[in-house]
Amino acid sequence: MAPLITSSMNKPSSFLCCVDFINPPTPPFFSWPWPSSSLIRGQGVVTLHGSSRLKFSPTLQNSHLTLLGLPLSKRRGLFQCNVLQATHDSDSGISLFSLFLEMGISKKVTEALLDNHPALKLSPFESIRAQIHGLQNLGINGHVLFRLVKKRPDVLIAKEIDSLVCFLSRDLKGMIEPAQLARLLIATDTIFLSGFEGKVCLLLDFGIPKERLAHVLNNVNLTKALCLKSSEEIERMVAFLNRFGGVELILGRPAILNFDLDSQLIPRIEFLLNLSGGDEVATTTVLRKLPFILAYTVDHYTNHVEFLRSYAGLTNEEIFKIILVYPSLFSASQKRKLLPRIYFLKQCGFSSNDIFKLLIKAPLFLSLSFEENLAYKLALLIKIGYEHRTKELALAMGSVCRTSCKNMQEVISLFLNYGLTYEEILAMGKKHPQVLQYNHKSMKQKLDYLTEEMGCEVREMLAFPAFLGYGFDGRIKHRFEAKGKFLGEGLSINRLFSMSTARFSKKHEKKLSVTKSR
């Protein structure tokens, strides 16, 4: 039988070949019009000049005996099918080259993708193109899309991705940021994406407002928070969190959903609950003030609490009261901040009770930078006249923690401009430590009113520096104007402004009634 290889060019997208393997041709005769071509015998491969390699069935190389046992028509049919499949792959590959090139993916990278993921060539081209368009409609374009396809080309053919894209386009269009979506698709095996829609709906069912859903979804690790957790695990987590603020807690710190319930959330919240003496309301207050506190481990909590117990001499109850007003206590480094600050207070003669009282009023003392904040304020206090290692200095340091270095400097300059000396400023500071933390603009308004409208000497304030802490319109101006109607009554500044609102109102009404009766 004559060796034969024939081709049919009726269809531009495919060709038909038949080979007789009984008497393999040497050399082969080619009937198609390409300039040069060759057949690698024994390997079942046809190489066309300027084209791709066309592979026979993998069984052809070592299965000549099986082929010889088949009827001629079947042998020809088998080779015919293999070449047609190779042609389909070649056409699909060429189309993908063009499509990927439009996305900015080079020929070299595309070749590597197709070699490493042959399923791409076997998938319908239109399906892949539709998947890409779906991702682009969600905002995944340009470099983000290029990076996604390069890292996870299987997203172009996975059925789970198609379902996810449909849900996002239909119900969450524009809610999830493209970069966040890309992170989800890169980090998550497609098998874990199938329940995404139901888990998002669970969040809505548990009370997350739809208008805040985007905030939650864009601030969690979607893989950890939703995809790798079952619906039952999410339900358990939300049910547990409902005891401590639930929805408000999640909205305040969506990343809480990233944590594992049994190994992370429960142990951490139970530690705080035990420290509070079992007070769920107080524990909830702490968590709502600083949801980020749940990012710290139980070991971290334990080290801080043990340090305050052993070195500062505080009890669990006192420590929790400080945490209640300042949950960021756990953010302060034990070595760089807690240790030197407590040491300073002890050097100033503070007892454990004194330390507790100062930290309740000025917990920022534990967190502020020494070089950029406390050192500057300490220098100003020493300049005024405070002495080293005294309780007065420590109390003043606690008070000025609530103001900026610039405002503190402005306050001192204001007093000096009104004629007060450093000694008088020091005396006021010892009598009323908060005086150095008041806003300098507000203080100027009050001092101007004191001297110009009320006709008082500025030094009258030395006996009652708390005057500078009262509200101007609601207390100082209002009471002084009301006092003008009390003819013949000489009230001191202290008595006029320190009087309770109820007592002042009663006294005012009494005087008004007496005046009207006359």
pLDDT tier at 92 (50, 70, 90 boundaries)? low
Q: How many CA atoms lie within 13 A of 296 on its CB side?
A: 22
CA–CA distances in Å: residue 456 to residues 134, 354, 413, 491: 76, 37, 21, 12
pLDDT tens-place string over residues 363-380: 999 999 999 999 999 999
Cα-based angle 461, 464, 469 (whole degrees, multiple of 5):
90
pLDDT tier at 71 (50, 70, 90 boundaries)? low
Residue ranges of the domains in the chain?
5-90, 470-518
- What pLDDT sits at residue 464? 92
Q: 72-81, 330-339, 416-425, 501-510 — which is least confidently predicted? A: 72-81
Q: Per-residue pLDDT for 151 more than 70?
A: yes
Q: What is the mean predicted confidence (pLDDT) over 277-288?
A: 98
Q: Per-residue pLDDT for 37 more than 70?
A: no
pLDDT tens-place string over residues 78-88: 444 443 344 44
Q: What share of the chain is helix, strand, coil (3-state, %, to 5)?
A: 70, 5, 30
Per the omega criterion (within 30 degrees of 0), is the bond before 27 cis?
A: yes
Q: 11-20, 120-129, 302-311, 323-332 — which is least confidently predicted? A: 11-20
Q: 65-74, 150-159, 469-478 — which is least confidently predicted? A: 65-74
Q: Say how many C-beta atoms besides its own lie within 10 A of residue 482's C-beta.
A: 16
The pLDDT mean for the chain works out to 83
pLDDT tier at 29 (50, 70, 90 boundaries)? very low
Q: Which residues contact 400 (CB under 8 A, 6 or more apart)?
A: 377, 381, 408, 436, 437
pLDDT tier at 50 (50, 70, 90 boundaries)? very low
Taking the CA atoms of 76, 81, 86 and 90 in sequence, report the sign of the dihedral they define: positive
pTM (2 d.p.)? 0.74
Long-range CB pairs of 165-170 (<8 Å, 24+ gap) are 165/131, 165/134, 165/135, 165/138, 166/134, 167/196, 167/197, 168/138, 169/134, 169/137, 169/138
For residues 31 and 507, the model is more confident at 507
DSSP 384: H
